Amino acid sequence: MGIDVEKQTNLLDLDRQSMEAYFADMGEKPFRAAQVLKWIYQHGITDFSEMTTLSKALREKLSDIARIELPKIISEQISEDGTRKWLIQLDTNNSIETVFIPEKDRGTLCISSQVGCALDCSFCSTGKQGFNRNLSTGEIIGQLWIASQALGDYEHKNRTISNIVMMGMGEPMLNFDNVVSAMNLMKEDHAYGLSRRRVTLSTSGLVPAIDKLAETSDVSLAISLHATNDELRNKLVPINKSYPIAELMDACRRYAKIRAVDTITFEYVMLDGINDSEAEARMLVKLMNGIPAKINLIPFNPFPGTDYKCSSTGAIDKFRDVLIKGGIFTITRKTRGEDIDAACGQLVGKVMARAKKHQHQKMDNQA
């Protein structure tokens, strides 16, 4: 009689705490969790028979009751600037995109958290695809695993991937538990061992979830802001209708206080004639009052069907200068991977869309 895969536990879905509980339920010591985590994430081993620090009996038992199931790379594109984008298969109907951005002093992996996105921000291609489902913990951490293998990051020697940003497809806060569990593995010493400052979660501004994150995790926080008044932000980032700017800024102040963070990053896409005036830059300085802020100005990356245009280089420079004079650390993000549609706001994957409606009510109930 064959093994029923559906009844096997995918160990990629378990962070260290969950893994320890899993082995305890088997009557094993908690240190088995650390051993298995090291084999999976530090040695890249997914075959239980090769985990030689485990007893033969335990390896055989795990082969019966557990599995290590990874998403699969369908295709890879490499930009002229060295950016890599992988199309990753999750199931028969759905795929996501994951992007690696190499720089002189770091290598950043942009990870997806949902198939599509339900928030429908007007300047983002991902939201136009609709939404299907959340990714499991294993599908989130699996993106880091397969990217590490593809880049030759074996046993963390000469690590190519130094930073993680939860800025790919989807709103991470609407997949809260699985995202936090995956981030725990990113920071776990027996897994990837990244510092909290090198793992960043980006959100469109779900206030209850920001407060919950402050009590749950210590990762870096980024806010997808893009406007300085509610009327405009309601159009650009519709979730603002539920959590307006003043409430969002208060949540950021609470997060900074609870977590004693060095900075909170605010992302601001530069849209020609929409949000790029010097007057709006001065308003942005006022909004940052009491927040340890860093602002990333993001030149808009076009996609088919959009009416938006990127601000001119001159307008972006003037906007940045106002912020810097106002005492705000500001950088203009260099567009990377645009020739392979890997730039910010361009990720689409393959989504069997179920809905575009907002799903923040679910998050309200969980927070």
CATH of the domain at 41: 1.10.150.530
pLDDT in tens, 71-89: 999 989 888 888 999 999 9
Residue 102's domain comprises 72-366
Structure-block tokens of residue 235 = 């159009």
pTM for the model stands at 0.89
- Mean pLDDT, rounded, for 109-120: 90
Q: Which residue has the tokens 């900074």?
A: 256
pLDDT at position 61 over 90: yes
pLDDT in tens, 278-337: 999 999 999 999 999 999 999 998 878 888 999 999 999 999 999 999 999 999 987 755
pLDDT at position 359 over 60: no
Same domain (yes/no): 216, 316: yes
Q: What is the distance, to the nearest Å, from the Cα of residue 275 to the centroid of all Cα atoms in its chain?
A: 25
Q: Based on the structure, what is the number of domains in the chain?
A: 2
Give me the pLDDT at residue 354, please.
Answer: 46
pLDDT at position 221 over 50: yes
Question: Which residues are registered as beta bridge partners of 128?
Answer: none
- Mean pLDDT, rounded, for 224-229: 96
Same domain (yes/no): 55, 131: no
Contact 102, 78 (CB under 8 A): no
CA-closest candidate to residue 145, choices 195, 98, 201: 98
Enzyme catalytic residues: 97, 344
CA-closest candidate to residue 290, choices 332, 320, 328, 319: 328
Structure-block tokens of residue 162 = 């130094």
**Domain boundary residue, one of 67, 82, 112:** 67
Same domain (yes/no): 15, 99: no
Structure-block tokens of residue 3 = 């093994």
Which residues 6+ apart lie within 8 Å of 11 measured at CB? Answer: 19, 22, 36, 40, 66, 67, 68, 138
- Mean pLDDT, rounded, for 266-273: 96
Whole-number Å distance between alpha carbons of 228 and 238: 14
Same domain (yes/no): 199, 297: yes
Whole-number Å distance between alpha carbons of 277 and 281: 7
- Mean pLDDT, rounded, for 209-232: 96
Same domain (yes/no): 126, 267: yes
Give me the pLDDT at residue 360, please.
Answer: 43
Mean pLDDT, the chain, integer? 88
Ramachandran angles phi, psi of 202, nearest 5°:
-110, 130
Give me the pLDDT at residue 36, please.
Answer: 98
Whole-number Å distance between alpha carbons of 31 and 327: 49
Give me the pLDDT at residue 120, please.
Answer: 81
Same domain (yes/no): 80, 60: no
Same domain (yes/no): 110, 35: no
Question: Which of 5-9, 79-83, 344-348 shows the lowest per-residue confidence on average (mean pLDDT)?
Answer: 344-348
Q: Which residue has the tokens 């609709």?
A: 130
Same domain (yes/no): 205, 292: yes
Same domain (yes/no): 90, 232: yes
**Domain boundary residue, one of 67, 96, 120:** 67
Whole-number Å distance between alpha carbons of 336 and 103: 10
Q: What angle do CA 120, 126, 264 make, to 5 degrees?
A: 80
Structure-block tokens of residue 62 = 């795990």
**Domain boundary residue, one of 23, 51, 67:** 67
pLDDT in tens, 9-28: 999 999 999 999 999 999 99
Give me the pLDDT at residue 127, please.
Answer: 65
Same domain (yes/no): 16, 147: no
Q: CATH code at 305?
A: 3.20.20.70
Exposure string for 169-198, b = 16+ CB within 10 A, e = fewer: bbbbbbbbebbbbbbbbbbbebbbebeeeb
> How far, CA to CA in Å, does 69 sit from each of 47, 135, 145, 318?
10, 13, 11, 49
Query: Which helix (H) or strand (E) element contains residue 78?
Result: strand 72-78
Whole-number Å distance between alpha carbons of 93 and 101: 27
pLDDT confidence tier of residue 350, bands split at 50, 70 and 90: very low
Same domain (yes/no): 48, 95: no
Same domain (yes/no): 290, 312: yes
Q: Which residue has the tokens 């927040």?
A: 291
pLDDT at position 169 over 50: yes
Structure-block tokens of residue 164 = 């993680």
> How far, CA to CA in Å, does 349 sit from each of 94, 124, 300, 363?
8, 13, 20, 24
